[in-house]
Amino acid sequence: MRSALTSKIKEAMFSVFGESQLDSINTHASLQAVIEWKTSAKTKDCYKKLFAPINEDNSDNIYILLILAKVWLGATLTNMKLAFTITVCQIMLSSHYEKLIIKEDIVKNRLRKNLVSNIYYKYNV
């Protein structure tokens, strides 16, 4: 079930950023291709924009909220769902993690940090 959820989060993230902001990548790409994708200017910009307003006119409309809305449409959003979604997006976009496959040990470590963080309370989601 987590695998399907992770795929849904990835799809939502690519959908929200769009091809103009985030190049697509095959999950079976070579390690070199993944490294190039993660260190590209577009991917780095998307990582920085996760918690940024989409446009200057509306600071309440941020990228991560659109991703959350696509993933959890109609569902009650809990702290765990919120933290897991943020975690997957961060792992996917961060050049710190060399792979696109979301491994459990990496998720657990990052998820703990996101659950403790107050960043999501700031957005009243």
What is the tens place of the pLDDT at every residue in 61-96? 899 999 999 999 989 888 899 999 999 999 999 999
Position 119 pLDDT exceeds 80: no
Which tokens go with 35? 């490294």
Residues of the chain with pLDDT > 90: what percent? Answer: 57
d(CA 31, CA 29): 7
Q: How many CA atoms lie within 13 A of 14 on its CB side?
A: 12
Please give the radius of gyration of the chain, using alpha carbons only, rounded to the nearest integer: 14
pTM beyond 0.85: the answer is: yes
Largest CA distance in the chain: 40
pLDDT of residue 114: 86
Count of structural domains, the chain: 1
Higher pLDDT, 117 or 47: 47
Highest mean pLDDT: which range of 38-52, 65-79, 95-109: 38-52
Domain holding 78, by residue range, is 2-123
Q: Are strands 53-55 and 58-62 parallel, antiparallel or unpaired?
A: antiparallel
Rounded average pLDDT over 5-22: 95
65: number of Cβ within 10 Å: 17
